[in-house]
C-alpha cells in the first residue's frame, strides 16, 4: 500500500514539475530580449579558419546617413554645394541621406521642419540637428557629436552638439 501511495505522490509531483517547467519555458520565451539594433552579425571565416569575425552593418537609414556624412569629413564647404566633393550644411545632410536611400528636403529650414521631431536627450545617429534657429544643420553621429559643413573657409568636420546653439532635431 505504501508503494502505491508513494507512486501516486511521484506521479503528482512529476505532473506538477512538468507543468511548472512548461510554464517557465513559456514565460522565459516572452522574456528573451530582442537583439539590440546595433548588434552586428557574424560570419564564419572562409578557408576553414577557426575564428569568427564581426561584419559591421548599418542598423538603420539614420546610421547609414551618419556613416556617409562622416566619410566626407575634410571636404570643403561651398555655399549651395550638394556634393560629392564639396558641401554646404544642408547639402551634406541631403547627400548623406541620398546615400542611405532616403530623400530629404534641400534647405536647412525644411530639413529641420520635416521628419519626426526629436528631443535633444533622445538623439540617435542620423538625426538631423538644427542650430541657430535652423540656419545651420548637421547629422548626429552619437556620443554627443554632430558632423556638419560649418561655413565658408572651413571643411566638413565633427563637433560637439553643445558647441552651437541647439534649435531642434528631426528623425527621418
What domains does the chain contain, in order, with CATH numbers? 61-171 (3.90.1720.10)
Mean pLDDT of the chain: 78
DSSP state of 102: -
**11 pLDDT tier (thresholds 50, 70, 90):** low
Residue 66 known to be catalytic: no
C-alpha cell at 52: 569568427
Q: Coil, strand or helix: which one is 42?
A: strand
- What pLDDT does 41 receive? 36
**Catalytic site residue from 72, 136, 138, 156:** 136
In the predicted model, is pLDDT for residue 63 greater than 90? Answer: yes
DSSP state of 31: H
Q: What is the mean pLDDT of residues 84-110?
A: 98
| Residue whose C-alpha cell reads 566638413 in the numeric block | 156
Give CA separation, 172 vs 79, 90, 94, 114, 155, in Å.
Answer: 24, 14, 11, 8, 25
**Catalytic site residue from 104, 148, 164, 170:** 148
C-alpha cell at 112: 529641420
Closest CA to 141 of 120, 125, 117: 125
95, 143, 165, 112 alpha-carbon torsion, rounded to 10°: 40
Positive or negative: CA dihedral 115, 75, 85, 38: negative
Give CA separation, 167 vs 88, 131, 162, in Å.
Answer: 18, 5, 11
Q: What ranges in 32-149 are assigned the alpha helix state H?
A: 61-70, 89-99, 108-113
**Catalytic site residue from 65, 89, 92, 129:** 89
List, for residues 51-60, the tens digit of each pLDDT value.
333 334 445 9
Residue 89 known to be catalytic: yes
Residue 17 known to be catalytic: no
Amino acid at each position: 500500500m505504501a508503494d502505491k501511495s508513494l507512486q501516486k505522490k511521484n506521479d503528482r509531483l512529476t505532473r506538477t514539475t512538468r507543468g511548472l517547467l512548461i510554464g517557465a519555458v513559456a514565460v522565459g520565451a516572452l522574456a528573451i530580449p530582442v537583439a539590440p539594433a546595433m548588434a552586428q552579425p557574424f560570419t564564419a571565416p572562409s578557408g576553414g579558419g577557426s575564428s569568427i569575425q564581426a561584419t559591421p552593418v548599418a542598423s538603420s537609414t539614420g546610421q547609414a546617413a551618419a556613416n556617409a556624412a562622416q566619410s566626407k569629413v575634410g571636404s570643403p564647404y561651398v555655399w549651395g554645394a550638394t556634393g560629392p566633393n564639396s558641401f554646404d550644411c544642408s547639402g551634406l545632410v541631403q547627400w548623406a541621406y541620398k546615400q542611405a536611400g532616403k530623400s530629404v528636403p534641400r534647405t536647412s529650414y525644411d530639413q529641420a521642419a520635416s521628419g519626426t521631431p526629436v528631443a535633444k536627450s533622445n538623439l540617435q545617429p542620423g538625426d538631423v540637428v538644427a542650430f541657430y534657429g535652423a540656419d545651420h544643420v548637421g547629422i548626429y553621429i552619437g556620443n554627443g557629436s554632430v558632423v556638419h559643413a560649418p561655413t565658408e573657409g572651413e571643411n566638413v568636420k565633427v563637433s560637439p552638439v553643445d558647441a552651437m546653439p541647439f534649435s531642434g532635431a528631426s528623425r527621418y
